[in-house]
Amino acid sequence: MILILQLLFALSLCLRADGYDYYRVVDCITSSPDLTDAEYIDTYYFNKSPYLRFNSTVGKFVGFTELGVKNAERFNKGPVVVQERGELERYCKHNLPTDFTNILEKTVRPKIRLRSEKHASEGHPAMLMCSAYGFYPPAIDVYWLKDGKMVTGDVVSTEEMRNGNWYYQIHSHLEYTPTSGEKISCVVEHASSKEPLIYNWGGSFTDSDRDKIIIGASGFVLGIILSTAGFLYYKKKSPEFV
């Protein structure tokens, strides 16, 4: 998997009442931990449009507007260009290894939830949803098995979605017609685990139906216990036990 890390650093920002703005952005870009292709880019913007840029691969300033061209000629003849040529080593290659180690090379195992979304009824198929939450990095593979064979149809999956806290989530839906004795599994492959994570579907009830059954069964058991306790108390207080 190719990893691209881009560091944005606003060096200066100037806002005026009439809406004009000027700022600089420094990018450090690479696709490998060994930094062999690392690139340093320093861009000057006016009203969100770049007008002057230094690129470490080019080795000099390049202007995009009349003002940018004039500044590029001036900077390329002075000490500014010499300083910029050293920023790839001083700034990018100094900071990028820390980011690779602390961010890109870290993995967080996904939390998986497998549940029924819809019962089969009147000729309509049932639907299962397999969700993976809180994982990193975002590259992940979620698929379904039916009796050990990969399901290639009737599957709809979302893209990896950001949680807003460096972590991601993804959801996969499977439509199927329940068959007695079949085994359905959701399989998740992620860099945080050497082996595929396999979650077997264990029933045909929706979450709400399952909750109702559990509550009903609990009430039934509790009723038996209270009835038995009342009967024993009555027998104990009756004359034949005196």
186 Cβ contact list (under 8 Å, min separation 6): 112, 114, 128, 130, 142, 143, 144, 145, 172, 174, 198, 199, 201
Helix (H) or strand (E) holding 65: none
Tokens of 41: 């880019």
pLDDT at 177: 85
Tell me the CA distances in angstroms from 150 to 120, 130, 146, 185, one per residue in order: 21, 15, 6, 9
Within 10 A of 176 (CB to CB), how many other CB atoms are there? 19
Domain ranges of the chain: 5-104, 111-200, 207-241
Q: What integer pLDDT is reported at residue 228 of this predicted model? A: 65
Do 5-104 and 111-200 come out as alike in CATH topology? no
List, for residues 199-210, the tens digit of each pLDDT value. Answer: 999 754 444 444
pLDDT band at 242 (very low <50, low <70, confident <90, very high): very low
The strand ranges marked E within 181-236 are 184-190, 197-200
Q: pLDDT (tens digit, 9 = 90+) per residue, 40-58? A: 999 999 888 999 999 999 9
- Any idea which fold 5-104 has? 3.10.320
Whole-number pLDDT of residue 141: 95
Check residue 224 and give its pLDDT.
64
What's the pLDDT score for residue 155? 93
Model pTM greater than 0.95?
Answer: no
Short-list 196, 203, 153, 197, CA closest to 173: 153
pLDDT in tens, 6-39: 444 444 455 555 667 788 888 888 877 788 889 9
- Return the structure tokens found at 69: 């061209």
Contact 14, 22 (CB under 8 A): yes
**Domain 111-200 carries which CATH code?**
2.60.40.10
Could you read off the pLDDT of 225-241 as tens digits, one per residue?
666 666 555 556 555 54
Distance, CA of 202 to CA of 135 (rounded, Å)? 24
pLDDT in tens, 65-109: 999 999 999 999 999 999 999 999 999 999 888 877 776 678 899
Query: Is the distance from CB of 61 to CB of 54 less than 8 angstroms?
Result: yes
Statement: residue 131 has pLDDT above 70: yes
- pLDDT exceeds 90 at position 64: yes
